[in-house]
Structure 1
Amino acid sequence: MSAPVVKGWCPGAHRPMMSGDGLVVRVRPRMARLTAEQVLGLCDAAQRHGNGRLDLTNRANLQLRGVSEQTHRQLLDDLANLDLLDPEPGLESRRNILVQPFYEHGDQTCRLTEILLDRLADLPELPAKFGFAIDTGSNRVLSENSADIRLETGMSGGLILRADGSQTGVCVSEERAIDAALGMARWFARHSSPELRRMRNLVRHTSLPGHWTGKPPGPLATRSEPGFTPKGPLVGAAFGQILALALDDLIRKSGARALRITPWRQILLEGGHSTPAPGFVTRPDDPLLTADACSGAPICPQAQAETQMIARQMAGRIGGSLHVSGCTKGCARQTAASVTLVGRNGRFDLVKRGRAGDEPAMRGLTPEDLLTLTDLT
């Protein structure tokens, strides 16, 4: 079995990625937010130019699937008309910014993000997956999400800048925060290499300047779960997949004025009211909330097995978290899970308390084998 190919970039709008079901086109909403009108327009575009499916990514973006090369240009025009496309492809690829989704309009999270958006052209040349997290609420919510440079609340309540992989950061004022973050990005660009393309890996091999450490980050928030929040209903999407028709219906019936995308396969219906949401995860105890599965075969050309049907069947049988991966890359989950199933030649290898690339405890299991196993964890 040949090793899976690790892509060094993410599919953007200008630069889509070919998959087994057509082009994957990524939309990066500013502030992880789309107005209701933008959501409805995007749902229409997904049905006219793609296969009517949307993916939520762990970077709080949306992906349209099944787009043909012939309709890609028209899709870009539609995204531009919805104000969901950067005219400059280079700037779009740099706009990898996670924001904590419970911000108030005009608060520190918004102010810092808007300044960083205005300063994207000042960034040095960085790897395509390099990104920022702005997590300045009272409690941190993005600590487990992928980012290389973090602006977050410190233990003392002030603002700190922290390199991912470092346990501590440095206090910064709001006025100097973005300049300091750009300086950290330039330091990374000078010291990184093709083998060290993420901050977490770099700081294992290269010491940070001493003045960038010493201040611990603040407390963590509790895990966000489906339910009603002060901002509106929060609902989940199994494996991060949404049917455009279902999302169109949900936006209209909830009366939401906007949609906020989270990096946890959940969407926040800003200003909306609770309403039945068929096709979405609405219960905090739903086992699909702790199950991760990639697109699998035949959608992903590198997948060695179909993933999502077995994930649905197995989710309720696992006492902890479940990850079903079509190959050893483990795209759907980078951290360890209680049980990880890895596709191999139509069957599955079982990893206990590990990641997709770890040594399996059992190999060559059929879906029927998995459904009869009792010693899973």
Structure 2
Amino acid sequence: MPTAPGPRDAGAIPATRDRGDSCPGTLRLHAADDGALARVRIPAGVLTAGQALALWDAAQRLGDGSLHLTSRGNVQLRGLGEGCDRELADVLGAAGLLPSPRHERVRNIVASPLSGLDGRGEADVQPWARELDRLLCASDAATGLSGRFLFAFDDGRGDMVALGADVTVRATGRVGAVLRLGPGGTALSVRGEDAPRAALLAAEAFLDAARDIEARCWRMSELPGGSRELTVEVASRLRADGIHSELVPAPAWTVGDPPLPGVVAGPEGPAALSVLAPLGVLTAAQWRQLVAVAEQNGNGELRLTPWRGVILPGVGAPGTALASAGIVTSPVSPWLGVGACIGRPGCAKSLADVRADAAAALGPGPSGLPVYWSGCERRCGHPHGDWVDVVATADGYDISVRGEMHREMHGEIRGEMPRTGMPPSELAALVAAARTTAVTR
């Protein structure tokens, strides 16, 4: 297994912004070419069946009828009509998806989606994530966080540590945790029960540090000088709060793999069903089918993953209904590892209909590195770690392998393929070659 990238504090990006964070939310919609867009934060990706149905209702009545999954385990509603913001807020508020309107954009929390289900983790971090969400919504200071600031809880399997979180908490043993700020050179060891409070205090300390230097920082990595001094300050705040912590060297955490589609085995039999949404989009019918399976065969819960998938706890067999509906339930699906931004016609900045091109270039099965198609150089929603980067340009597509670890191990592969007039089979061959060559050279 590869390890998470090491310390990079010296490369902190200075903040030079002259405006506030415009990251969309549920109460602050974003104007797109296909209508307004709402981003609904789902802390740790956990939804009850009732909440999932509220999203389904909003997508059907107010949006384009589909639910778009994000790389942080959230849901985006697109194609929203003008003037629907109040009704959308009412629908989601009634379902408990807006516990605090002032905090709705800062509830960015991811957690190991199989934690507590398959017996693999050091501890169940899902309760830690829920407690942090409660603490966030009770903190006046936390309203100052950017909508991009991210908390991650890893149960020890390593699936969260490479997601680029600002505050990463990893379980160590059954009673301990290590807290890392950004890519930081040091970390803090705390008791697991104190981890949610420690994560909040770290975020509040970050806000104070950014204010002291009069910098408009949105992420930990943007603090001039990095996060080492901030880690010491957080330790001081924890001590004042009665929480014991110890400074420890930056951990070389092993990066774990995301869950594959299919039945997830647990200590006493099937623990859950893992599925993927092709290109991260589920139609209203597909979403409704997932909810039905969760209610009828599981415990009524859905867990959205940062890999645009869904975990259905307690579901022991995929059956045929989900696959027949177009939902990926097999680990050998050609959709595995394939992603794309919204592209044309939904985004005015996109230079291509990347979703159609990605579908046309789909290979026979999963192979090598993930591949992500972007309609422009912004690469919205791209994955973390190493991936094959397919970016539309004015002349065609540019292909490269991105990711710090991969460049260190293998160098970089670059190429360019013209979009106009190329048969889908040739397009697929070029992308497949980049995905497989990249992992073998």
TM-score of Structure 1 vs Structure 2, range by shorter chain? 0.7 to 0.9
Q: For residue 105 of structure 2, what is the aligned residue in structure 1?
A: 93
SS in structure 2 at match of 1:14: coil
Structure 1 residue 153 corresponds to structure 2 residue 171 = yes
SS in structure 2 at match of 1:176: helix
Q: Give the drift of 1:353.
A: 1.2
**Which one of the candidate residues 137, 141, 149 is aligned to 2:159?**
141
Structure 1 residue 348 corresponds to structure 2 residue 364 = no
Q: Give the drift of 1:203.
A: 7.2
**Which one of the candidate residues 229, 246, 249 is aligned to 2:289?**
249
Q: Give the drift of 1:104.
A: 3.4
Between Structure 1 and Structure 2, how many residues are aligned? Answer: 366
Distance 1:138 1:246, change over 3 A: same
Judge conservation of contact 2:161–2:253 (CA < 8 Å) in 1. Answer: no
Structure 1 residue 126 corresponds to structure 2 residue 174 = no
1:225-374 to 2 correspondences below 5 Å: 225-229=260-264, 230=266, 231-253=271-293, 255=296, 256=298, 257-273=300-316, 274-276=318-320, 277=322, 278-316=325-363, 320-335=369-384, 339-345=388-394, 347-354=395-402, 361-362=415-416, 365-366=419-420, 368=422, 371-372=425-426
What's the C-alpha RMSD, in Å, of the aligned pairs? 3.1
Q: For residue 216 of structure 1, what is the aligned residue in structure 2?
A: 251
Structure 1 residue 200 corresponds to structure 2 residue 227 = no
| Alpha-carbon distance between aligned partners in 2 of 1:160 and 1:321, rounded to the nearest angstrom | 29
Structure 2, unmatched stretches of 5+, are: 1-18, 118-122, 233-245, 404-411, 435-441
Judge conservation of contact 1:341–1:350 (CA < 8 Å) in 2. Answer: yes
Give CA-to-partner distance per residue, 1:269-310, whole Å, 9 cap, x none.
223342221221112122322112101011012111110111
| Alpha-carbon distance between aligned partners in 2 of 1:80 and 1:169, rounded to the nearest angstrom | 37
SS in structure 1 at match of 2:92: helix
Higher mean displacement: 281-290 or 6-15: 6-15
Judge conservation of contact 1:154–1:217 (CA < 8 Å) in 2. Answer: no
TM-score (norm: length of structure 2): 0.74
Distance 1:281 1:361, change over 3 A: same
Structure 1, unmatched stretches of 5+, are: 1-5
1:50-65 to 2 correspondences below 5 Å: 50-65=63-78
SS in structure 2 at match of 1:85: coil
Q: Give the drift of 1:232.
A: 1.9
Judge conservation of contact 2:176–2:189 (CA < 8 Å) in 1. Answer: yes
Q: Give the drift of 1:370.
A: 6.9
Judge conservation of contact 1:341–1:348 (CA < 8 Å) in 2. Answer: no
SS in structure 1 at match of 2:336: helix
Q: Give the drift of 1:365.
A: 3.8
Q: For residue 3 of structure 1, what is the aligned residue in structure 2?
A: none
Identical aligned residues as a percent: 30
Higher mean displacement: 67-76 or 321-330: 67-76
Q: Which amino acid aligns with 1:339?
A: V
SS in structure 1 at match of 2:60: helix
| Alpha-carbon distance between aligned partners in 2 of 1:339 and 1:294, rounded to the nearest angstrom | 14
Q: For residue 47 of structure 1, what is the aligned residue in structure 2?
A: 60
Q: Which amino acid aligns with 1:361?
A: G
SS in structure 2 at match of 1:112: helix
Q: Give the drift of 1:315.
A: 3.4
| Alpha-carbon distance between aligned partners in 1 of 2:278 and 2:20, rounded to the nearest angstrom | 24
SS in structure 2 at match of 1:333: coil
Distance 1:12 1:214, change over 3 A: same
Q: Give the drift of 1:122.
A: 4.8
Structure 1 residue 73 corresponds to structure 2 residue 118 = no
Higher mean displacement: 219-228 or 323-332: 219-228
Distance 1:130 1:305, change over 3 A: same
Judge conservation of contact 1:58–1:145 (CA < 8 Å) in 2. Answer: no
Structure 1 residue 104 corresponds to structure 2 residue 122 = no
Q: Which amino acid aligns with 2:188?
A: V
Distance 1:184 1:80, change over 3 A: closer
